[in-house]
Structure 1
Amino acid sequence: MSTTPRPGERVALLVPGSPAYVDLVIALLRRGVFPVPMDLGLTPTEREPLLAELEPALVVTTTEQLEDLRIALDADPVDGPPLGRPVHLTSGTTGRPKGVFSGLLEPGAAAALVAEERELWGFREDDVNLVLSPIHHSAPLRFAVGTRLAGGRVVVPGPFDPARVTAAIEAERPTTMFCVPAHLQRLFAHWEQHRRPDLSGFRLVAHAGAPCPDHVKRELVAAFPAGSTWEFYGSTEGQFTACRSEEWLERPGTLGRARPGRTMTVDPDGRLWCVVPEHARFSYWRAPGKTAAAWRETPLGPAFTVGDLGRIDDDGHVFLDGRRDDLVISGGVNVYPAEVERVLAEVEGVTDVAVFGLPDERWGARVCAAVVGPATEAALREHARTHLAPAKRPKDYLRLDALPRTATGKVRRLDLPDLAAGRG
């Protein structure tokens, strides 16, 4: 490769996860170049506006390109901590994806970012991190990067499949793993049908991304070594709490206390805010209005919110009362109704549409759409398949003569699950 990206530039990654992917992310960040991990499931309709907004210096779309770039960077190695975080894409309440940007960190802040993760999760040289989730998501990439920075090894079995994961556990003897509750449910079901592998090598199993059903949490604690399982509460924007499962057993429902260096507060509207150190601050890429809305000054320092509602008990334990009311978390993936509604509204015969979530044993929640108008379900499904990533495509369609609305014209989204149940 004749040229390599310069500090401050961005490199979009549209390739499958692999150990080389993780090493490339580290090599870029050590140079102050910002990788942009992107979902391979994005359709051209979804992907092109994001690339236009982010203006990457390079778009990596093949494993050959990835390897060429990695080799070019290895030829001129750079040591030291990553000088920032990848630009992960997240959606706001409008459903418009936006980049979460850490900016270029000074050496002290960069070292603090690495040290914080290593001290909390204990990353070490003999770790083997098993990657279950798509690596463009922030949590699995963060655990993989932390492992590699400590000198450990990363195993990426491929798209999640319980049999494939079980085989990787048996062959690779991983010591750490990040997962979402849907992964655990499918693994436990598979192990019940077949057999449970030897899990004694795990020292850390962390889960997040969606509420974990009580029975799944208890099975997790029983299946893995004592003291090895954790839940944490965070978002693409930042991390808030961490909680050992034993702590959860004493206070069912808690997400734990604020992580070291952070302070959690709740405002009069029940919205959770987090004061974070310098190295954990962010802005939304080229969205100063959204950035300003997410942050506020407090006596303890700058604090941000992602709009979640919750409460904090007298001992500092955080409890989540509800996600943002327009958000559906399906298999650990954030799905915003506004984005899906805009796509479905393009279908001929749709006169009104509202998207909502229903509880789902496998995925935590499934995406559903209430539709007004003569458009056929086949047409809706085909349009969604063409224009939306798999997690965003409605699983169920509810036919209504009219959407329930308030006097000011807003959809009463909370009424839709009851309407769906009445049609069941």
Structure 2
Amino acid sequence: MNEVPVVRAADSTAAQRRVAGALADRGIGRGDRLVVSATASPELLAVVLGALRTGVVPVVLDPALPAAERAELVADADPALDVGDDPGQLLGDTEADLAPFPLARPMHYTSGTTGRRKGVWSGVLADDDARALATEEINLWGFGPDDRHLVLSPLHHSAPLRFAAHTLLAGGEVLLPGPFDAARAARTITDQAPTTTFCVPTHLQRLLREDVDWSSFRLLAHAGAPCPEPVKRAVVAALPDGAVHEFYGSTEAQFTVCTTEDWLARPGSVGRARPGRTLSTDERGQLWCAVPRWARFEYWRAPEKTAAAWDGDWVTVGDLGRVDDDGTVWLDGRREDLVISGGVNVYPAEVEAVLDAHPGVVESAVFGVPDDDWGQRVVAAYVGTATPDELAAWARERLGPAKRPKSTRRLDELPRTSTGKVRRLDLPGVLGL
């Protein structure tokens, strides 16, 4: 078995100082943006934290993005520097001082309901707010010097990066076994005895098929997609008592935490509000959350979308749900056409825009169908002369892996309502899926 890289807090802090020195030497400072799109590595974590602890905001992109999509996001972010897939170039010889805590949140791009990605921007925080933001996360999950955090998800996603970064800030270690492989992850868990991890239900489904010694975990947190009840019960039974936590949140904001005890008492719920937050619903059943000052954000260069998301201190990301009298939150869904595949949100409009650009496609409709491994898989129906193989090759060149249709089916026409809208929810039946 290949040795699993271990990132130790002291080593990472020293590397972060070198990153801070390199940024200062280049004249990059507070409020500037730094683009990085690299796979998980000690260098990536050092660049993200070294930038944040000097007030530089890292814009963390998926390294698998097609070139055209990446170029569009980089142009939108308007960075002072783009280090691409080589964060190590910022590990220079000069060191600079670091703030005790990150002075900002990384900027991530999240898909919008119209298919256009939105940058989630929090700016540079006042020192008190920066301290409160980091302290909240560290205290909520109890991160400390004895922790060994196992990274199972790509670090360009907000939750995996947040868990790894705050483990290092609390003095712990981070294990980086590489792209998720169930057998390798099982060996790492058994051999390296991690104490914490973040994952999505797809990881759990695959790990349950392996021979895993779960006994070292004090915390396994999962989110990103609904977890099937049999999977959840199997994980709860396999891990030490009380170790399994679920949470509900998004790239933009974090809302609830659900302990093992709370979930067993209310299976299917997503817990109660995080400390300092309050959740309620409006007349449409849309969930709103009042958040503390340090959790505020805006959509980068999209004031109209920011205005739609906020009402005073209350924010919504469009999810529908219920809040019981005791504060327990239940999710009823988001958009009916949202696909969650392996914990990644896939908005059909974004995929359809790519497929419809093919010269052999008249129109397309994208939807999700249940999948044992991924929760849902992306499927496309289309009208046109292109062959499924041609359309699959087109998508491979222009879409990240999670967004590519796993199957494409040609139809003479798409099913529509009386007003002409495509009946997405009818497509699985039309296609016999």
Q: TM-score scaled by structure 1?
A: 0.94
Rounded to whole Å, the distance in 2 between the matches of 1:270 and 1:384 is: 36
CA contact (8 A) 1:15 1:60 kept: no
Q: 1:3-402 maps to which residues of 2 (within 5 A)? A: 3-63=26-86, 66-71=87-92, 75-189=95-209, 191=210, 195-196=211-212, 198-297=213-312, 302-402=313-413
Cα distance, 1:173 vs structure 2: 1.7
Structure 1 stretches of 4+ moved >4 Å: none
Per-residue CA shift, 1:61-106, capped at 9, x if unaligned? 244xx2231345x611213211110001101101111210111110
**One-letter amino acid of the structure 1 residue matched with residue 166 of structure 2:** G
Report the Cα distance in structure 2 between the residues aligned to 1:201 and 1:341, rounded to whole angstroms.
Answer: 44
- Secondary structure at the counterpart of residue 242 of structure 1: strand
Q: Match of 2:361, SS?
A: coil
Distance 1:199 1:61, change over 3 A: same
Is the Cα–Cα contact under 8 Å of residues 19 and 155 in structure 1 kept in the other structure?
Answer: no
- CA distance in 2 between counterparts of 1:245 and 1:356 reads 32
C-alpha distance in 1, partners of 2:336/2:54? 39
Residue aligned with 1:226, SS: coil
Segments of 5+ residues of structure 1 without an aligned counterpart are none
Q: Distance in 2 between matches of 1:311 and 1:415?
A: 27
The CA distance in 1 between the partners of 2:161 and 2:368, in whole Å, is 27
Letter aligned with residue 422 of structure 2 = V
- Contact 2:272–2:327 (CA<8 Å) still a contact in 1? yes
The C-alpha deviation readout for 1:161-198, integer Å capped at 9, x for no partner, is 01211222233221100000000111111x1xxx22x2
After TM superposition, give the deviation of residue 378 of structure 1 in Å: 0.9
RMSD: 1.4
Query: Partner letter of residue 37 of structure 1?
Result: V
Partner SS for 1:129: strand
The answer to whether the 8 Å contact 2:63/2:85 transfers is no
Cα shift readout 1:304-362 (whole Å, capped 9, x = no counterpart): 11111111112111111112223111000111111100100112221111111111111
8 Å CA contact 2:83–2:89 kept in 1: the answer is: no
**How far does residue 398 in structure 1 lie from its aligned partner after superposition?**
2.9
CA deviation profile, 1:253-291 (whole Å, cap 9, x unmatched): 100011110111111111111110000000011110111
2:326 aligned counterpart, secondary structure = coil
SS in structure 2 at match of 1:174: coil
C-alpha separation in 2, matches of 1:79 and 1:283: 24
Q: Distance in 2 between matches of 1:336 and 1:378?
A: 22
Q: Which amino acid aligns with 1:214?
A: E
- Say if 1:26 and 1:145, in contact at 8 Å, map to a contact too: yes
1:321 partner amino acid: D
Q: Which residue of 1 aligns with 2:13?
A: none
For 2:40 and 2:182, locate their aligned partners in 1 and report how far apart those are by CA, in whole Å: 18
TM-score between the two structures when normalised by the length of structure 2: 0.92
Per the TM alignment, residue 60 of structure 1 is displaced from its structure 2 partner at its CA by 1.4
In the TM superposition, residue 4 of structure 1 has moved relative to its aligned partner by: 4.9
SS at match of 2:264: helix
CA distance in 2, matches of 1:41, 1:403: 31
Percent identity for Structure 1 against Structure 2: 58
